[in-house]
């Protein structure tokens, strides 16, 4: 007998005792406590190297990987983000494949999976700090010239708005010295530390009040934390308790989840979470704060942002025909707000392609877990979970169950909820849904 939660609505399929063992177990997992309140977190440091919006708690992918993937199995996350699924798969000794189009996700993932000597990284990092502090103190004019030459006008304007001049010079000194590190793996690790002091919930070394908020606010009176001590602190924290990574195969590639470079039917489990509809969480808004330092211009990043699933832009997008409930939601929204309705149509169209791809690459008799939250757009709850469950079934998946869990906002760099004038999107994001699909 499975325990059923009262909060789960009638749209879920009942778990039937005659189903195959694995599917039955999957159903059981989906109906278990997905808040992980009592879990013993294994505190695997690499999970916490860098903030990332809407990051999974490691327990979530771990639950499904541990119970559903046999040795030699491959786990896929087509929208890998901070790579929690891939890292958990690795820790459990499974091979993993991940895709993303976000440049920060790819830097972060690459850095997380590399093997390097901790003492060497610590030594190099400290030496970088010392050299950078010297550069900043004694070669200020050169740094100022470099700063002028490094960025185009629009990017300079962005930097001047969000970073104090002193901070910009300190960051440039740090980056200049990081670039000189001979060992590529350590260099990448240090770049991640560099990015980690900029992108934090409270805006780190920037003038932003809160980078987790959908719209960061500049606070001119803010005294941003000082770059060198912050870098040192973050580096030390990231290197602490660092365990050796098990040697498994991990492939993280820049690719669109809607056209994955993966053969048919070779994946044993998918655990993923797509972006929210209509850009409710705008990844690029926070990520550009560090990506500009790695050579991306604001213009380029604006173009990349349009490619994200969930982006509001509907230029050059192929809209697909949706199954009835999803179509009804889009039409309802279009009636009150044509623009938002079109963006929602884009979101479901792209997610339809992603679900089709996920079905293609998954082996038969295997599970796919999709974690989503709903949004209220122009006053309408678009019921993302119900729509995506419907679209998944349209592509051949069986819907096993939709679990529900609370979002721990403090831990997940999500927009905060306690503002008096919070938008409807913000007030809605208290829970999320864990859609369990089965490929027959
Ligand atoms: C909710 S986040 C994933 C967070 C992840 N579960 C974690 O634990 O960190 C969604 C991810 O989808 C990525 N994404 C957006 N559009 C994409 C696309 N077309 N193809 C692949 N990834 C995409 C975003 O860059 C973002 O990293």
pLDDT tens for each residue of 141-198:
999 999 999 999 999 999 999 999 999 999 999 999 999 999 999 999 999 999 999 9
For ligand 1, whether the C-beta of 275 sits within 6 Å is yes
For ligand 1, whether the C-beta of 104 sits within 6 Å is no
Which pLDDT belongs to residue 42? 65
Nearest CA to ligand 1 atom 19: 256
Nearest CA to ligand 1 atom 3: 81
Q: Are the C-beta atoms of 394 and 43 separated by less than 8 Å?
A: no
Start-to-end CA distance of the chain, whole Å, equals 22
Of 5-9, 270-274, 371-375, which gets the smallest average pLDDT? 5-9
Nearest CA to ligand 1 atom 26: 81
Neighbours of 11 (CB within 10 A): 13
H/E stretch holding 439 reads strand 431-439
Of the candidates 258, 192, 262, 198, the one whose C-alpha atom is nearest the C-alpha of residue 225 is 198
Which pLDDT belongs to residue 252? 97
Per CATH, domain 21-102+249-274+309-439 is 3.40.50.150: yes
Nearest CA to ligand 1 atom 4: 81
Of the candidates 265, 176, 163, 155, the one whose C-alpha atom is nearest the C-alpha of residue 219 is 163
Q: Are the C-beta atoms of 98 and 127 separated by less than 8 Å?
A: no
Helices 298-307 and 283-291: crossing angle, nearest 10°?
Answer: 150
3-state secondary structure of 33: coil
pLDDT tens for each residue of 102-149:
999 999 999 999 989 999 999 999 999 999 999 999 999 999 999 999
Measure the CA–CA gap between 101 and 300, rounded to whole angstroms: 13
Neighbours of 299 (CB within 10 A): 11
Q: Are the C-beta atoms of 372 and 385 separated by less than 8 Å?
A: yes
Taking the CA of residue 102 as reference, the ligand 1 atom at the shortest distance is: 25
Which pLDDT belongs to residue 41? 66
Of the candidates 196, 205, 202, the one whose C-alpha atom is nearest the C-alpha of residue 225 is 205
Mean of pLDDT values over 358-365: 98
Beta bridge partners of 371: 434
pLDDT tens for each residue of 18-44:
545 899 999 999 999 999 887 766 667
pLDDT(57) > 80: yes
Q: Indicate the top mutation candidate among 51, 56, 75, 81 to test ligand 1's pocket, ranked by most ligand atoms within 8 A of CB.
A: 81
pLDDT tens for each residue of 258-299:
999 999 999 999 999 999 887 777 888 889 999 999 999 999
Measure the CA–CA gap between 47 and 122, rounded to whole angstroms: 19
Per-residue DSSP letters for 313-362?
--TT-------HHHHHHHHHHHHH-HHHHHHHHHHHHHHHHHHHHHHHHE
- Domain segments of the chain as ranges: 21-102+249-274+309-439, 118-239
Of 10-14, 103-107, 373-377, which gets the smallest average pLDDT? 10-14
Q: Indicate the top mutation candidate among 57, 83, 84, 102 to test ligand 1's pocket, ranked by most ligand atoms within 8 A of CB.
A: 102
For ligand 1, whether the C-beta of 105 sits within 6 Å is yes
Q: Indicate the top mutation candidate among 49, 61, 65, 100 to test ligand 1's pocket, ranked by most ligand atoms within 8 A of CB.
A: 100
Proportion of the chain above pLDDT 70, given as a percent: 89
What beta strand segments (E) does 373-428 contain?
A: 376-377, 380-381, 398-406
Measure the CA–CA gap between 145 and 164, rounded to whole angstroms: 16
Which pLDDT belongs to residue 245? 80
Of the candidates 279, 256, 224, the one whose C-alpha atom is nearest the C-alpha of residue 356 is 256
pLDDT tens for each residue of 408-436:
755 544 544 433 444 444 445 678 999 99
Q: In this structure, is the dihedral angle defined by the CA atoms of residues 219, 152, 171 and 164, taken in order, positive or negative?
A: negative
Q: Which residues of 58-85 are buried (b: 16+ CB within 10 A; e: fewer)?
A: bbbbbbbbeebbeeebbbbbbbbbbbbb
List of residues 6+ apart from 33 with CB closer than 8 A: none
Beta bridge partners of 404: 433
């Amino acid at each position: 007998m499975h325990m059923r939660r009262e909060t789960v609505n009638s749209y879920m399929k009942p778990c039937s005792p005659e189903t195959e063992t694995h599917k039955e177990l999957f159903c059981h997992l989906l109906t278990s406590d997905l808040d992980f309140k009592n879990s013993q977190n294994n505190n695997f440091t690499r999970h916490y190297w860098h903030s990332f919006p809407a990051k999974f708690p490691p327990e979530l992918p771990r639950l499904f990987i541990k119970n559903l993937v046999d040795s030699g199995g491959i786990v896929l996350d087509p929208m890998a983000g901070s790579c929690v699924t891939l890292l958990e798969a690795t820790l459990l000794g499974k091979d993993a494949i991940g895709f993303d189009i976000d440049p920060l996700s790819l830097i972060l993932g690459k850095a997380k999976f590399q093997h390097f000597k901790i003492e060497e990284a610590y030594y190099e990092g400290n030496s970088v700090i010392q050299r950078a502090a010297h550069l900043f103190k004694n070669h200020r004019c050169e740094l100022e010239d470099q700063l002028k030459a490094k960025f185009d006008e629009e990017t300079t304007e962005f930097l001047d708005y969000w970073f104090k001049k002193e901070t910009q010079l300190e960051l440039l000194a740090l980056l200049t010295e990081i670039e000189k590190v001979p060992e590529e793996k350590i260099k990448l690790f240090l770049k991640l530390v560099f990015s980690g002091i900029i992108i934090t919930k409270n805006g780190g070394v920037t003038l932003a009040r809160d980078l987790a908020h959908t719209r960061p606010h500049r606070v001119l009176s803010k005294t941003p934390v000082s770059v060198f001590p912050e870098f040192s602190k973050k580096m030390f924290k990231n290197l602490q308790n660092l365990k050796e990574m098990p040697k498994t195969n991990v492939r993280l590639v820049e690719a669109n989840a809607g056209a994955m470079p993966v053969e048919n039917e070779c994946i044993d489990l998918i655990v993923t979470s797509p972006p929210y509809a209509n850009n409710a969480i705008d990844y690029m808004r926070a990520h550009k704060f560090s990506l500009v330092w790695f050579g991306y211009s604001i213009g380029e990043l604006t173009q990349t942002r349009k490619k994200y699933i969930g982006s509001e832009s509907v230029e050059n997008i192929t809209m697909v025909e949706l199954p009835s409930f999803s179509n009804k939601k889009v039409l309802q929204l279009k009636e009150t707000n044509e623009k938002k309705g079109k963006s929602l149509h884009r979101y479901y169209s792209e997610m339809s392609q992603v679900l089709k791809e996920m079905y293609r690459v998954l082996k038969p008799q295997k599970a796919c877990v999709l974690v989503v939250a709903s949004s209220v757009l122009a006053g309408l709850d678009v019921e993302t979970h119900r729509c995506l469950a419907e679209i998944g079934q349209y592509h051949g998946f069986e819907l096993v169950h939709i679990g529900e869990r609370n979002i721990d906002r403090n831990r997940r760099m999500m927009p905060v909820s306690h503002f008096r004038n919070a938008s409807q999107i913000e007030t809605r994001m208290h829970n999320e849904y864990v859609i369990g699909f089965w490929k027959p």
